[in-house]
């Protein structure tokens, strides 16, 4: 009898652990998955995501709360660089657990500030309300060891097919680097358009990598050694010159 119990324990515990692990990640979308859909109120009215922006790239930002210093700096930075994202065919959506009235008042206040000595900025992207935490849970923005009621600073880059292509998470006390988010967006768009890879510390216009080849013979079929647009460090690292 004791032997039977021990055998059952060794079988049940791992299965229970695997089930629990799977359950704990439910609602946490991953790279390559569809972006969770939602309908919510925002400073631009009722918003249905991602259907309202299906032909665009989209970046979904989450914030822990309105009227907080780090969040405010990030919203103002986004407003200052909005034209960059417009040129990249990308729409910005910001989500917070606060209600729409708070969002409206916060937006009005921010539009009076002289950020970095500039004239007051217009915030043209919507601030979405998520008081019931539906969006926050669907996107895995609630991290219990950080807060059970406030979002961490999440960033989701979503392509026109509504697939999640990149995810960033930041703690509540650290502001995001908008230049890095924009760089990642451009890298994804470049990779899709040119069927290339981007190396470490790549910047727009820089040299790119061609897809990995399993052998030198295979690599030579892809790229001619006499082609001036290509060069290599070794057979598994072949570059294409950028357009700087």
Residue 244 burial (10 A CB sphere; 0-12, 13-18, 19+): exposed
- The structure tokens listed for 241 are 């010159």
**Helix, strand, coil shares, percent, the chain, to 5:** 35, 20, 40
**Span 14-18, mean pLDDT?**
38
Q: What is the average pLDDT value for the chain, to the nearest integer? A: 84
Looking at residue 67, what is its pLDDT?
A: 94
Looking at residue 23, what is its pLDDT?
A: 36
DSSP 150-204: S--EEEEEE-TT-BEEEEEEE-TTS---HHHHHHHHHHHHHHHHHT-B--TT--T
Q: 16 pLDDT band (50/70/90 cuts)?
A: very low
Looking at residue 88, what is its pLDDT?
A: 97
User: What does the pLDDT look like over 53-98, one tens digit per residue?
Assistant: 988 999 999 988 899 999 999 999 999 999 999 999 999 999 998 9
- The structure tokens listed for 242 are 């950028």
Looking at residue 54, what is its pLDDT?
A: 81
**Span 148-153, mean pLDDT?**
67
CATH class, 38-176 region: alpha beta
Given 40, 71, 158, 187, which residue is catalytic? 71
**pTM of the prediction?**
0.83
Range with the poorest average pLDDT among 102-106, 163-167, 168-172, 223-227: 223-227
Looking at residue 145, what is its pLDDT?
A: 62
User: What does the pLDDT look like over 120-137, one tens digit per residue?
Assistant: 999 999 999 998 888 988
Q: 49 pLDDT band (50/70/90 cuts)?
A: very high
Sequence ranges of the domains in the chain? 38-176, 195-240
Q: Among this protein's residues, is 71 annotated catalytic?
A: yes
Better pLDDT: 150 or 106: 106
Q: 213 pLDDT band (50/70/90 cuts)?
A: low
Q: 173 pLDDT band (50/70/90 cuts)?
A: confident
């Amino acid at each position: 009898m004791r032997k039977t119990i021990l055998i059952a324990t060794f079988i049940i515990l791992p299965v229970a652990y695997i089930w629990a692990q799977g359950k704990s990640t439910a609602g946490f979308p991953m790279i390559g998955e569809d972006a969770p859909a939602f309908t919510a109120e925002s400073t631009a009215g009722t918003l249905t995501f991602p259907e309202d922006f299906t032909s665009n790239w989209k970046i979904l930002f989450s914030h822990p709360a309105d009227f907080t210093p780090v969040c405010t700096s990030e919203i103002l930075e986004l407003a200052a660089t909005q034209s960059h994202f417009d040129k990249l065919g990308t729409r910005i959506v910001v989500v917070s657990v606060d209600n729409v009235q708070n969002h409206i008042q916060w937006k009005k206040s921010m539009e009076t500030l002289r950020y970095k000595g500039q004239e007051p900025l217009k915030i043209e992207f919507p601030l979405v309300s998520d008081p019931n935490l539906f969006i926050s849970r669907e996107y895995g923005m609630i991290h219990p060891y950080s807060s059970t009621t406030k979002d961490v600073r999440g960033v989701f880059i979503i392509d026109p097919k509504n697939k999640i292509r990149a995810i960033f998470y930041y703690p509540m006390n650290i502001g995001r680097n908008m230049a890095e988010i924009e760089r990642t967006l451009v890298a994804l768009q470049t990779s899709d358009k040119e069927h290339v890879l981007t190396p470490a510390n790549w910047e727009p216009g820089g040299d790119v990598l061609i897809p990995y080849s399993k052998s030198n013979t295979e690599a030579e079929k892809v790229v001619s050694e006499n082609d001036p647009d290509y060069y290599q460090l070794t057979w598994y690292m072949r570059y294409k010159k950028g357009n700087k």
